[in-house]
Amino acid sequence: MAIIQTDQLTRRYGRQTAVDGLSIEIGERDIFGFLGPNGAGKTTTILMLLGLTEPTSGRARVLGFDPARDPLQIKQQVGYLPENVGFYDDLTGCENLRYMGRLNRLPEAQAPALIEEALSTVGLEGEGDKLVGAYSRGMRQRLGIAELLIKNPKLLILDEPTLGLDPDGTNRMLELIVSLRRERGMTVMLSSHQLQQVQRICTRVGIMIKGKLVALGSLDELSQGSPGDKARPNLEEIYMRYFKEA
Amino acid sequence: MWTICRKELADHFGSIRFLILFCLILMVALVSTYMAATHVREALDGVSKPSQVFLLLFTTPGKFFSLVQFIAFFGPLLGIIMGFDAINRERQYRTLGKLVSQPIYRDAIVNGKFLAGVLTISIALLSMMLLLTGMGLMTVGVIPGIEEIGRLAVYLLVSIAYVSFWLGLAILSSVLFRSLATSALAAVALWIFSAFFIGFLADLAADAVRPVRNPRDPEKIVANRRFADASSLVSPAVLYSQATSTILDPYRRTRSNLVLTGPMERLSLERFQRPLPLDQSILVVWPYLTLLAAMTLVCFGLSYVVFMRQEIRSV
């Protein structure tokens, strides 16, 4: 069963079309890289998938639910990490997690164990009692993932998860994403414009430019017909080719 | 919703600005009650059979102002301080996007915050009144009767509704304006306008609509004053102070400041100089109470609608 399926999904703001007839399908245990320049409509698409924005036309299904009609069912099973996620800086990491747990109606008795587990999964053991205001950017981003993990989601939607991280932080984030898929069987959709990273971990890629999906498929599929070494497909070349065409 | 309410409550009680403001209000209120208590004797001079002395504690102006006037002026500040950053603080810290992507209805966010604010206001006002009641008991030594307690309870409820109106207004401005400072200033500007300048505006409006060309014509003057009174009721501050002064003063039997009476009517009014019972007092100000509640609901409802329709993407 497809985890995410959209059919001619369109969103217009006034005259401007942010997302234009998007049809994609993301299968179970995919790591789907959603690429495109700034303002291509990636975030708008994500918001429509979560039911936070209504599509102008077209349909979407996430985990079998229609986001426009049953957003709560979707939000229960989908972990969404917004771009530049924020926290309550005057609370500790654990308190932030506990609040999110309560909003997700996790049983109070299990919360401490779940929080501990989530923190150790993202490599923040022992940091939970510090105020979030004192966290580094990489730690904040990993705390953001921990917030998603406490509800044990089937699908993770990450908006620019590695933006602004140093190389070490980026590596840890990418490894974390890969291990979540491998060990917990989660499906991941991540938007990014950092191509090398996407190339390293994604099983499938979609390229979106000016609201239109211009390419969809695995790296190997996309690299056919592109110049350069066929054995080592290079996402950057593929991307630039589509970018120039558009 | 309760989860959000619980967190907001914790935030309110922990926040420094709330503690400072509460200390300030408490201090001034204590001073004003003390002054009132020492002036009660003067106020009672010449009254042959004083009744409901206890209420005087709250309404006697003392040297500067009475507690009731004080809450009418500065209660709004309490509401504004608790609401002006309700939604846009979440925007600023970029937590709103996260919050709306949790499995809760979007309205739960506004509801939870409003509820937490109302609870905080109730607790603050109630504890303030209990403190003052205790102080009044000690300084004056008059024990309040059932009816006086009833009047104070009604007064408390109306005050909570009044401060909640400003809370709702502040939340509305926090939904409308992105910046914390703009939102606070907008709410404070409305407060100052409705508390201090509405009188001038009402006079202006009355002079424009019902001009008094002949200063000897009582009909015209009354019409002018009536119009000014009515138009100043647009301001919740005026509504509130008139409603509460009627409730706390059993000798007031009309909402209007100006009643034309003939000689016979005056005679009958003077013969029946007895306090109104509580239910009659409430009946007299019932329209005011309804209006106040309606204004609160309109404010809250507006912020609700605006927030539900707002695009989340620009978070």
Digit-coded pLDDT (tens) for A21-78: 999 999 999 999 999 888 888 999 999 999 888 899 999 999 999 998 899 999 999 9
Contact across the interface for A43 and B100, Cβ inside 8 Å:
no
| Cα distance from N-terminal residue to C-terminal residue, chain A | 32
Q: Which of B12, B98, B105, B310 to mutate to test the interface with A (most CBs of A within 10 A)?
A: B98
Residues of A in contact with B100 (CB under 8 A): 52
How does DSSP assign B234-245, residue by residue? Answer: TSHHHHHHHHHH
Q: Are A96 and A147 spatial neighbours (Cβ–Cβ below 8 Å)?
A: yes
Rounded Cα gap, residues B276 and B256, in angstroms: 16
Contact across the interface for B313 and A47, Cβ inside 8 Å:
yes
Rounded Cα gap, residues A225 and A241, in angstroms: 11
Query: Which A residues, 110 through 129, put their C-beta within 8 Å of a C-beta on chain B?
Result: none
Tokens of A123: 């490599």
In terms of DSSP bridges, do strands A187-192 and A204-209 run parallel, antiparallel, or are they unpaired?
unpaired
Q: Is A246 helix (H, G, I), strand (E, B) or coil?
A: coil
Contact across the interface for B98 and A44, Cβ inside 8 Å:
no
> What are the per-10-residue average pLDDT scores of chain A (246 residues)?
90 90 92 89 91 91 92 92 90 93 91 93 91 92 94 93 88 92 93 85 90 87 64 74 80
pLDDT at B48 over 60: no
Judge whether A68 is closer than 8 Å to chain B, CB to CB.
Answer: no
Task: Express each pLDDT in B262-313 by its tens digit.
Answer: 666 666 666 556 677 777 778 878 888 888 889 888 988 888 888 888 876 5
Contact across the interface for B97 and A99, Cβ inside 8 Å:
no
pLDDT > 70 fraction of chain A, expressed in percent and rounded: 96
Q: What are the extents of the domains in chain B? A: 2-309
- Residue A155 dihedral angles phi and psi, to the nearest 5°: -130, 135
How does DSSP assign A92-106, residue by residue? Answer: BHHHHHHHHHHHTT-
Contact across the interface for B93 and A99, Cβ inside 8 Å:
no
The alpha carbon torsion through B165, B167, B168, B171 (nearest 10 deg) reads: 160
The alpha carbon torsion through A63, A65, A66, A72 (nearest 10 deg) reads: -100
Residues of A in contact with B93 (CB under 8 A): 86-89
Rounded Cα gap, residues A25 and A246, in angstroms: 23
Confidence (pLDDT) at A88 = 92
pLDDT at B235 over 50: yes
Contact across the interface for B97 and A85, Cβ inside 8 Å:
yes
CA distance A89 to chain B (A): 8
Q: Which of B85, B91, B102 to mutate to test the interface with A (most CBs of A within 10 A)?
A: B102
Q: Is B266 helix (H, G, I), strand (E, B) or coil?
A: helix
Rounded Cα gap, residues A103 and A50, in angstroms: 16
Tokens of A55: 């599509």
Contact across the interface for A88 and B93, Cβ inside 8 Å:
yes
Q: Where are the alpha helices (DSSP H) in chain A?
A: 42-49, 71-77, 93-103, 111-121, 137-149, 167-184, 195-201, 219-223, 235-245
Contact across the interface for B93 and A89, Cβ inside 8 Å:
yes
Question: Which long-range CB contacts under 8 A does B38-47 form with residues at least 24 apart?
Answer: B38/B62, B38/B139, B39/B63, B40/B140
Higher pLDDT, B266 or B125: B125
Buried b (16+ CB within 10 A) or exposed e, B198-219: beebbbebbeeebebeeeeeee
CA distance B2 to chain A (A): 9
Rounded Cα gap, residues B122 and A207, in angstroms: 55
Residues of A in contact with B102 (CB under 8 A): 75, 100, 103-104
Number of helices followed by number of strands (H, E) in chain A: 9, 10
Contact across the interface for A86 and B93, Cβ inside 8 Å:
yes
Task: Map out the domains of chain A with their CATH numbers.
Answer: 4-83+153-245 (3.40.50.300)
Rounded Cα gap, residues B201 and B2, in angstroms: 42
Q: Are A136 and A123 spatial neighbours (Cβ–Cβ below 8 Å)?
A: no
Contact across the interface for A52 and B101, Cβ inside 8 Å:
yes
- Residue A225 dihedral angles phi and psi, to the nearest 5°: 85, 0
Chain B residues near any Cβ of chain A (below 8 Å): 3-4, 6-7, 93-95, 97-105, 311-313, 315
pLDDT at B78 over 60: yes
Q: What is the ipTM of this complex?
A: 0.85
Q: Are B235 and B195 spatial neighbours (Cβ–Cβ below 8 Å)?
A: yes
Rounded Cα gap, residues B3 and B276, in angstroms: 45
CA distance A230 to chain B (A): 39
Tokens of B315: 């978070």
Q: Which of A85, A90, A99 to mutate to test the interface with B (most CBs of B within 10 A)?
A: A99
